[in-house]
Structure 1
């Protein structure tokens, strides 16, 4: 085939991918964000959080989601694109012109390379920025609106080592009624405080919050097995808020790749394993774009005329299977059964081998067992339904 015809063909195949990819990105991102929307709406309506802060929260939440939605959207795009080409017999026409299935690989692999680079940028820069930025923003909101961390008639554990319960809460006035505070910050002397009323006061300068309690009692267990009760008219309890900029308190999801790879001296072995797992998982997920592409091409071609709904269902099934495998190997890595390198990359290797097998079967024009089994199940189901109607 002349070069200009090959370029035209490659451009034609490449143009099939972006539209379903963007649709998949929007759909999957929206589905993942839906679980957060109700909580964000509650912050605006009940807690009076400015809408601009909610928009910032969404912006910080997007990068960790993109790390998953980019490969997911790519899988869906490849399934729909090659399903459409196969359904319209264009794959058959290309083969009749002497183009093998391997000859159709450059356009989807080029798009997969672009998706992998985008995913690598997300995992190296955007994910640590989003996770740490979200944590800092929540601290800022807690400092400006103390009641954001507390809900009435619920045992709240938003403060480390403490459980707070309030019968009533006025979020605007930052006042409480019927307050119970169980303080275990010092495990040697756990304390329970009862107060009829109280107020919440935040102190941004000291990065803390103060409970100004009135008319209550303090119940404290002593080290030697004793017990002490003190009644008060006014009692101020200060609580330090978590500092989002403190590297010592950051989670592994908030760290950069360099911080994950080079833990400080004295880090416990369990923490080192957790860092190594996060490091390899972050690198493995972007390269799943190539794995999904190789897997989706034969599945899309053999899906044929089943339509977009079947392509979407098939993509969901593959995604669920992949992330179940990912979770299983992650658990093996956390337990120390597998080294972090093997635990992080094994799902990609397994699905890559499966994709290579399916690709070869499709290239040899052999029907995949999964698509041969589906019509049989469909006919068997119809037979049972018809027998049921006759009865």
Structure 2
């Protein structure tokens, strides 16, 4: 029984908040890394800031490949970087036969390694037209940061910070109810194992007819009352 109590204490006081933190971290990392998986073929995507993207075909795999790419930069001319051909009022259009899409979750971007591409732009007048071809090139698309997954309040905190949140803050505007509930929920689990075992073993060892059934019912009632 003491061994079970110690194991339960370790799980409730340390392992559970640690596992919650790791789960949330992995979920957020996977969500950010799946930005390339959200691109549908033959659909004009407008989810990227100041960018319109069209992909004719998506080849999934360890390395995501796009085919027949159309990329339009519709950001204001003064915000664009590049040569004079990118200072016109119209969008800057880039097309490519193929591209390797690499997600950059840390910077919330998609890097495109394009093959057989060209960039088209109109200057400030209709007579100014710029066309640049390239066998290989790299462009970056800035993605919208996905919604961050968050754990239930105070459930991912270690016992030290949780205790300070529950009892160590002197701010009268601070509401300590939620951290105190979480704090005491963790503390009651280890002694509950010991108490229920001490109650259940004598009842279960009873030779009286129906003693084991009574022990089970009593244990359930005590668990709810506890």
Do Structure 1 and Structure 2 share a fold, with TM-score over 0.5? no
TM-score band, normalised by shorter chain = 0.3 to 0.5
TM-score (norm 1): 0.26
Write 1 or 2 for the structure with the bigger share of helix: 1
